[in-house]
Amino acid sequence: MYIDETSAKNKRYSNWIDILLDTPVPDGRHRLIEHVLAPYLINMRNLELGKAKQIVEEWVERCETYGPARGNINAFVERACSNTQKFKRKPKDLSWFKNNHRKVYAMISSIAEGYGIDLEAE
C-alpha cells in the first residue's frame, strides 16, 4: 500500500483515506487507526482481518520516523481491527474529526491539500 514519496507526488488521489495510508503522521495515530484506517480497510475495502492489520502495522512503522507510538501499538492495532470487524464499524467522516479532534483534522487537511484535494468540497 505504501508508495515512495517520488511516486506519491505523481499519483492522483481522490480519497483522503488513501492519501493517509501513504503518508506517515506525527500525531493522532491511535485515533486514526481506530476511527479511520481499520474501518476503511475492513468494512469499506473488504480486506481480510490479517491483511488490514498488516497494512496498518506497516503504516505505523513508517510513522515511527516521527517517534515511537505510546503503549503497545501492535496490541492496539489488533484490538482495533478485531472490534471493527466485530461491530461492523465504518470510518468516521471528516466532519467528525473537525468537531471532535481539530488537531487531527488540521493535519489531515494539510496532507490532503498537499495532494490537491480540497476537503471542504467533500
Chain position carrying cell 476511527: 35
Grouping H, G, I as helix, E, B as strand and the rest as coil, residue 22 is coil
- In the predicted model, what is the mean pLDDT of residues 10-25? 82
**Model confidence, pTM:** 0.86
Per the CB < 8 A criterion, the answer to whether 82 and 36 are in contact is no
Amino acid at 73: I
Distance, in Å, from the CA atom of 67 to the CA atom of 42, rounded to the nearest integer, reads: 27
Question: What is the per-residue pLDDT across 31-72, written as a single tens digit (0 to 9) for each?
Answer: 999 999 999 999 999 999 999 999 999 999 999 999 998 899
Distance, in Å, from the CA atom of 55 to the CA atom of 77, rounded to the nearest integer, reads: 10
Q: Which of 32, 22, 40, 18 is nearest to 85 (CA)?
A: 40
